[in-house]
Amino acid sequence: PGPGREIEIAVMKDAVGSDTAVCFSPPPADLVRGKTKEYRLGDDLMAALNGLSTFLEAHGLKETAILARPGRNAAPQRLFSGGPAFLTAAYWPEWDLSLKVRPGGFTQVNPEVNLLLVKAILEETARLAPGPKTALDLYAGSGNISIPLTRSGFQVTAVEQAAEGLQAARENAKGLNGLTCMGGQGEKVTLELARRGQAFRVTVLDPP
């Protein structure tokens, strides 16, 4: 739209299927503050996006969720009906384990490379000498590293600041023993855990 009014567009693709999501993050100039003090998209931007769902459907992309963030740290909101409720962020066939996220949530950009990343971490931890199998995962997101570590026998404390990432991690961890999800800034939570005298054999840092 012009200098200082750039719109960030994130495109997400399901790791194993064809579902997609498009999430717009407009600048403050294109947001309107309502009576409840919450922000919404401005009329000009909504008018510009109004034909997007029809355009996507005409190009065979019917199963696309269209969202926007009304603010830098705000959760993404659906603009139109349709599209998937969840996307597969990662899939580990050896455990028949799928990691799900809501459209607009954070995922690693390359599913194949992500599997290599997690595999490298698991191989490194498997080489440890016998001892406590405890791990701290900072910037844990939706459980991308925490859940495979837990599946491999570790007691894991996962720390995530973003509310949507923390919610996804807890949903993905249902029925899984050995994983504790904590909300908060990684640096502050780490200091608090240290004050409590907690120690971990492995610490994983995977910041955005």
pLDDT tens per residue across span 103-160: 888 888 888 899 999 999 999 999 999 999 999 999 999 999 999 999 999 999 999 9
| Beta strand spans in 26-142 (E) | 31-33, 39-41, 64-68, 77-78, 87-92, 97-101, 134-138
| Per-residue confidence (pLDDT) for residue 208, from 0 to 100 | 76
What are the structure tokens assigned to 77, written together? 């909101």
| Per-residue confidence (pLDDT) for residue 131, from 0 to 100 | 93
Helices within the chain (DSSP H only): 43-49, 52-58, 111-126, 146-151, 163-172, 186-195
| Per-residue confidence (pLDDT) for residue 1, from 0 to 100 | 58
Going by C-beta distance under 8 Å and a sequence separation of 6 or more, which residues neighbour residue 180? Answer: 156, 157, 158
- pTM score, whole prediction: 0.80
Cβ atoms 89, 107 nearer than 8 A:
yes
Of the candidates 2, 3, 5, the residue with the CA atom closest to the CA atom of residue 29: 5
Of the candidates 34, 29, 2, 22, the residue with the CA atom closest to the CA atom of residue 65: 22
Three-class SS state of 11: strand
Three-class SS state of 29: helix
Unique residue bearing structure tokens 């003090």: 37
Below-50 pLDDT ranges, the chain: none
